[in-house]
Structure 1
Amino acid sequence: MGAAAMIPGRKRAPESLGRVLVLGLGKSGRAAVEYCLGQLGGRVDALAVAAGEPTESAHAFAAAIAERGATVAFGEGAVGELAAGALDGRFDLCIPSPGIPPFSPLYVGALEVCDELVSEVEFAWRESDADSRWVAVTGTNGKTTVASLAAHVLRADGRRAAAVGNIGDTCIEAVVSGRVDTYVAEVSSYQLASTSAFAPDVAVLLNITPDHLHWHGTFEAYRAAKCKVLENLATVAGATAVLDATNDIVRAEVRRLRAQTPEERGFAYVPLGTYAGLDGDMRMRCGSDNAAFLGWDGLLRIALGGCEHALVRADELLIEGEHNVSNALAAAAAALALGADGVRVAHGLRTFEPLEHRIEPCGTVGGVSCYNDSKATNVDATLKALSSFPGKRVVVLLGGDDKGTDLAPLVEAARIAASVAVCFGSAGERFAAAFEAPAACHPSEAADAAETLADVGGLASDSFLVVRASHLEDAFDAALRVAQPGDVLLLSPACASFDEFGSFEQRGRAFKALVADRAARAGA
């Protein structure tokens, strides 16, 4: 496609897309199919869809698109079957759904029969207006909050901005809508792994910790996919990278960029904090030109392009926790890098409300404040949630579909930040066992703990209480029995949801329904 004639006024859209293959019928796969069907007989010569597993929903969608001219096949051999019916047995372009791993038969087969393979994010970027602006947000945790907050701040600045990608509309749907000129894309490692020319105006690289290793195979492959967001920044005039320098892996990228001359690098970068934390100013630490940090006066400060912006106090944010101070700094730095007005950015930061399933306040039961952090599907996310309630007694619900990750950091943090852990679901036994250490509390304290836990099916580990429960509802009720008025009851599972629920969203809504039901029963 590099030598193809391009459509004027687009990022990198060829006049002819040729023969297109779409892998998978997830949300982004279906959006890509709909877009290409609209081009069939014009820019698209033929559209083939390797639909993956033959579910009832997939069959219904496949039947509908087949009537409109697409060719569809199911199963692991779908790519070979579709290639056998294609001209010369090949396709010009493949758009894979992000859920399809690179070692799967569909993906491997597509690499053999397609001239080019790009994710839906890159495809949408190529098709977007040449003067549109793109912010790409990636990292292990915090992507959705940062993307949503950045879009909110940019709208406060008067931009037609939207959070797209893994939240809201898919990228290609947003492009088609014509309502957006600033795309803030939450981009997963899955999507970045299948990019080649994607070049946002601002790349935000948040924390990188082990996750999704079943898809990438190794942590190095996962890290490399995340860092691809920086790969093409030098091709965009005025591009900026925002990097979480409090994270060891990302800080290594900061060091790599600092070792280059501005000419070699080709773009600006803004380190967020330092190895010492968010209150570190990388200009003071190592002479960086730019920096984002929490000032000694409690103000979020961003130094960019020779100008320092004092935005808002951390305690003015409506979102809880130090990690959300970091998220706010990242979002604000991205907006300022696009030229947003500092006063409007500050207003946007002050008015952004918590997102669903992300330390979301969802009511009280008998004076106990309940928070839904169902999105915390890994240990690192739960560590951040646990640090969000200083001075409060926390009862935390842990468990679900076990990812098998190291629990030592979670045990250590929970002992410091919480008083009770209720362990439930298929991971419940392993989580509870991780807390079982020789008792170190005073004998009378141990006796009191044992008496309390006898009523809820728990055990005492040191002076820390651990409760076992089968399912989320059991865990919630057990937590209420040990919680006291003024406590925080936090669902932050550090696990996927698939042992009991179809998604973290379904789990979070079930939790909120339990809060509402028990509050109604208690008359609170």
Structure 2
Amino acid sequence: MDNVRPDALGDVLVLGLGHTGQAVARYLLHLADDPATAARVGSVTVVGGAKSSDGPAARALRAAGAAVTVGEDSVEGSYDLCVASPGISEFSDLFAAGRAASGAVVGEPELVWRESPERWIAITGTNGKTTTTSLATALLTGAGIDAVSVGNIGTNLADALDAGRPAGRWYVTELSSFQLATTERLHPRVACLLNVTPDHLEWHRTFDGYVAAKERVFANLDPSDLAVLVVDDPVCARVADGLEARGLTVCRVSVEGVPDAPCRAYLDGDTLTVDLPDGTHRLADFSAMALEGPHNAANALVASACALFAGAPDDAVTAGLVAFGPLEHRIEPVRTVDGVRYVNDSKATNTDAAVTAVGAFAPGTVVCLVGGHDKGGDLADFCRAMGGACRAVVAYGEARARMGGALEEAGVPVTYAPHMAEALEAARALVRPGDVVLLSPACSSFDEFSGYEERGRAFKDLVRALVPEGGRR
């Protein structure tokens, strides 16, 4: 792949003053300060938007040489390039103002790929992105291949590039639909789509718009690259058909059967198996992994396909699969108390994620804690799935009335609680040995917590308080 880094970026407008906006601005300012690259950047202007304020971040960027405007969505001047933060919808007033004032609009992944386009693995989907990204990175590093997890997973791409990218390093990139919506030439060597269910419709306006953003991860692939899709998901199966029609190399992943395709990943009995153009790779048994649930078997197959394509040998991939443990807030075991397992799945901020989580356990053994800030989506499929999987549900928080009412109408036993702490107490009264108390809220956390991370850690603290450290219950 040719190095497509532009000789000059010109006058650059950055939209947003959050983590991404700050990282992009810092990277550009460092280019401007370096005599070897100073000619590439004419100026850096940051517009934080109507909800931004003149705090430490704005002052730091001004001190470094950026022009910073806060508290408004208007844009003054004209720019060669606009870099929009992912939280700014393409339908927003700020995005429209930036587009009108600029020659082109891209997001952070597009900018960083243009700056450093080699060895990218891109992973997207509604659920499972972080687990798959982390696992793919662990498989590569365990094989002695330099790789880092970047993007939506927490390490901004601009910060990673600013810190220096050694020759040969792979970027294993978790990409959200927000980030993909502003890509044009992004061209990873491996692009993965795990699943697509309705989410973030307030940003994309329609489900079709959301799907189109996800599909952009494949837009520039050629037959020498690898597209990996979990075809148990109907949207992914349709997208896979279209990619094959383009003549691309498509690895079809399934945990429900063996795909009828030359390039595929599947369970041969319990054995994770990947057929690539270079042959068949029989890896670890899924039961030997610490991860649980069919969705994690699919995640493991996707991560394995990525690592094998990038050059990891079978024995290293097998060892890495067995060594990998659950991530925080993602079906994370907390403690067993009186024969009952307590599991933290606070990352489940939508109904599909919660349905997937309860499916990781034996039907009828789960008491699930659901609730928080209500996203307002349709609950019919959620209620049907929860009824078949859960013995009972405890609905709490802002969403408890709507979610609990819908579940009761579907015949699911529901107990109500005002907050998560009371919900845990209510769940304890419902369980028996062998059961699972699962925090999988199907909602965002903003009615009670700053984010799913704080919610999950609060849950773990509450569970650990049930038994003193070192206790044997």
Please give the range of the TM-score, normalised by the shorter of the 2 chains: over 0.9
Aligned partners of 1:257, 1:282: CA distance in 2, in Å? 16
Query: 2:31 matched to 1:19?
Result: no
Aligned partners of 2:194, 2:188: CA distance in 1, in Å? 15
Structure 2 residues not aligned, in runs of 5+:
none
Larger mean CA deviation between 213-222 and 338-347 belongs to 338-347
Query: 2:24 matched to 1:32?
Result: yes
Aligned partners of 1:51, 1:168: CA distance in 2, in Å? 20
Aligned partners of 2:306, 2:230: CA distance in 1, in Å? 12
Aligned residue type for 1:289: P
Aligned residue type for 1:408: A
Instruction: Go from structure 1 to structure 2 and tell me whether the alpha carbon gap of 1:46 and 1:24 turns closer, same or farther (over 3 Å shift).
Output: same
Please say if residues 119 and 188 of structure 2, whose CA atoms lie closer than 8 Å, have aligned partners that are also in contact.
yes
Match among 86, 98, 103 for residue 110 of structure 1: 98
Q: Deviations over 1:395-422 (max 9, x none)?
A: 1001111111222222222222211100
For these two proteins, the number of residue pairs brought into alignment is: 465
Query: 2:408 matched to 1:465?
Result: no
Larger mean CA deviation between 95-104 and 401-410 belongs to 401-410
Aligned partners of 1:243, 1:199: CA distance in 2, in Å? 17
Match among 387, 410, 430 for residue 482 of structure 1: 430
Query: 2:464 matched to 1:513?
Result: no
Please say if residues 27 and 158 of structure 2, whose CA atoms lie closer than 8 Å, have aligned partners that are also in contact.
yes
What's 1:238 paired with? 224
Instruction: Go from structure 1 to structure 2 and tell me whether the alpha carbon gap of 1:34 and 1:10 turns closer, same or farther (over 3 Å shift).
Output: farther
Q: Deviations over 1:296-318 (max 9, x none)?
A: x2111111105111111110111
Match among 313, 318, 331 for residue 359 of structure 1: 331
Aligned residue type for 1:247: D
Larger mean CA deviation between 174-183 and 118-127 belongs to 174-183
Task: Give the share of equivalent positions with the same residue, in percent.
Answer: 43
Aligned partners of 1:391, 1:337: CA distance in 2, in Å? 36
What's 1:457 paired with? none
Partner of 2:468: helix, strand, or coil?
A: helix
What's 1:45 paired with? 42
Aligned residue type for 2:281: H
What's 2:59 paired with? 63
Partner of 2:148: helix, strand, or coil?
A: strand
Aligned partners of 1:309, 1:256: CA distance in 2, in Å? 26
Please say if residues 192 and 228 of structure 1, whose CA atoms lie closer than 8 Å, have aligned partners that are also in contact.
yes
Alignment of 1:134-153 (within 5 A): 134-153=120-139
Partner of 1:40: helix, strand, or coil?
A: helix
Aligned partners of 2:465, 2:220: CA distance in 1, in Å? 51
Query: 2:152 matched to 1:156?
Result: no
Q: Which runs of 4+ in 1 moved over 6 A?
A: none
Query: 2:315 matched to 1:343?
Result: yes
Instruction: Go from structure 1 to structure 2 and tell me whether the alpha carbon gap of 1:125 and 1:391 turns closer, same or farther (over 3 Å shift).
Output: same
1:168 to partner: Cα distance: 3.5
Please say if residues 76 and 105 of structure 1, whose CA atoms lie closer than 8 Å, have aligned partners that are also in contact.
no
Aligned residue type for 1:280: G
1:26 to partner: Cα distance: 1.5
Aligned partners of 1:238, 1:175: CA distance in 2, in Å? 25
1:55 to partner: Cα distance: 4.8
Q: Deviations over 1:144-196 (max 9, x none)?
A: 11100000011112111111101242112222223561000000000000000
Aligned partners of 1:391, 1:118: CA distance in 2, in Å? 46
Please say if residues 51 and 78 of structure 1, whose CA atoms lie closer than 8 Å, have aligned partners that are also in contact.
no
1:382 to partner: Cα distance: 0.7
Please say if residues 366 and 519 of structure 1, whose CA atoms lie closer than 8 Å, have aligned partners that are also in contact.
no
What's 1:197 paired with? 185
What's 1:213 paired with? 201
What's 1:453 paired with? none
Aligned residue type for 1:126: R
Q: Which has the higher helix share?
A: 1
TM-score by length of 2: 0.94
Greater radius of gyration (CA): 1
Aligned partners of 1:403, 1:391: CA distance in 2, in Å? 26
1:391 to partner: Cα distance: 5.8
Query: 2:367 matched to 1:371?
Result: no
1:208 to partner: Cα distance: 0.4
Q: Deviations over 1:462-519 (max 9, x none)?
A: xx53100111111111111222222110000111111111111111111111111122
Aligned residue type for 2:186: F
What's 2:448 paired with? 500
1:255 to partner: Cα distance: 1.6
Instruction: Go from structure 1 to structure 2 and tell me whether the alpha carbon gap of 1:77 and 1:390 turns closer, same or farther (over 3 Å shift).
Output: closer
Match among 241, 245, 260 for residue 255 of structure 1: 241
Aligned residue type for 1:292: A
Structure 1 residues not aligned, in runs of 5+:
1-8, 84-89, 439-460
Partner of 1:486: helix, strand, or coil?
A: coil
Alignment of 1:188-337 (within 5 A): 188-234=176-222, 238-258=224-244, 260=245, 264-265=246-247, 267-273=248-254, 278-283=255-260, 288-295=261-268, 297-337=269-309
TM-score by length of 1: 0.85
What's 2:72 paired with? 76
Instruction: Go from structure 1 to structure 2 and tell me whether the alpha carbon gap of 1:196 and 1:179 turns closer, same or farther (over 3 Å shift).
Output: closer
Please say if residues 364 and 519 of structure 1, whose CA atoms lie closer than 8 Å, have aligned partners that are also in contact.
no
